[in-house]
Amino acid sequence: MNEGNRSFRRDLANVLARTADLDLESGQPKAAQTGYTRSLAEFQRLQNDDPKDEELQTRQIEVSYNLGTAALAAGDLAGADRIFGKLRDHWEARLKPPQDEDAKFNLTLCLARLGDYQHAAPLAEEVRKYAPADGLNLVKVSCCYALCAAAVKRGKSASQLSVAERDLRKRYEIKALETLRQAIDHGYQDWVFLEGQPDLAPIHALPEFKTLMDQLRAKQKAAAK
């Protein structure tokens, strides 16, 4: 594959992934699955031609995660489990010394996506300890807890949850919201990202989340005057 063709293929893969992002954000997970699958296939072809390209490896992991997220949103639990299971194994391997802090965060997300909130929640607190006063790191922790809340309900309707499960889900939602509030207190301001972040989707509909976003927008508007 010549360089011009490689550049075209890389651009195509990125466009397909971005289009799939928009499909997922607009509530069309099946369309997103199709787009992510096509994007991943293009990245894999490029990787086969250049196995040492680390950027391609990173993009494949990112697109795979998004494909799993779309599968969950589409109700394809088996497909999501296959994807997140492979990603879990990848990130667990990266936890061997020297420890990769980013790997622990990504492992936490994958565990929660797999429904394993029992292991994901304690890891979220370990992620917090890396930078407890950093806004972006606190957003990551909030994402972890939001997914833990979703994991409690995974594969069940609200009426099928036990009292203990409903209480646990609520505790994770509260932790996600409290941590997000702390992130904002420590300077995080990108409300557009927060409202469009799929990992925060489990708390997007909560009144407390909407209030936080309104406060953040008002704060930015006042600062701009």
Domain boundary among 12, 44, 75: 75
What is the per-residue pLDDT for 224? 78
Residue 66 CA to residue 14 CA, distance in Å, equals 13
Whether 143 maps to a domain, the answer reads yes
- Provide the pLDDT for residue 189: 94
- Domain total in the chain: 2
Residues 112 and 206 in one domain: yes
Residue 124: per-residue pLDDT: 97
Residues 50 and 121 in one domain: no
**Do 65 and 102 have their domain in common?**
no
Residues 113, 171, single domain; the answer is yes
**Rounded Cα distance, 105 and 55, in Å:** 19
Structure token pair of residue 209: 């989340």
Which structural domain, as residue segments, surrounds residue 184? 96-225
Residues of the chain with pLDDT under 50: none
pLDDT at position 3 is 78
Both 4 and 62 in one domain: the answer is yes
Say if residues 42 and 16 touch (Cβ distance below 8 Å): yes
- pLDDT (0 to 100) of residue 1: 65
Same domain (yes/no): 141, 199: yes
Q: Does 90 map to a domain?
A: no
| 91 occurs within a structural domain | no
Residue with tokens 């807890």: 145
C-alpha closest to that of 80 among 29, 46, 42, 130: 29
The reply to whether 85 falls in a domain is no
pLDDT tens, 149-181? Answer: 999 999 899 899 999 999 999 999 999 999 999
The verdict on 70 and 120 lying in the same domain is no
What CATH number did the domain enclosing 10 receive? Answer: 1.20.58
Q: Residues 195, 213: contact at Cβ < 8 Å?
A: yes
Among 18, 43, 75, residue at a domain's last position: 75
Structure token digits, residue 86: 């492979």
**pTM for the full predicted model:** 0.93
In a domain, residue 135? The reply is yes
Residues 17 and 109 in one domain: no
Q: Are residues 31 and 114 in the same domain?
A: no
> How many angstroms separate the CA atoms of 195 and 119, rounded?
26
Any idea what DSSP says for residue 161? Answer: S
Query: Tokens at residue 203, please?
Result: 């708390």
> What tokens does 224 get?
């701009």
**What does the angle CA 164 – CA 165 – CA 171 come to, to the nearest 5 degrees?**
90
Residue 130 in domain:
yes
The answer to whether residue 213 is domain-embedded is yes
Whether residue 7 is contained in a domain is answered as: yes
60 and 108 in one domain? Answer: no
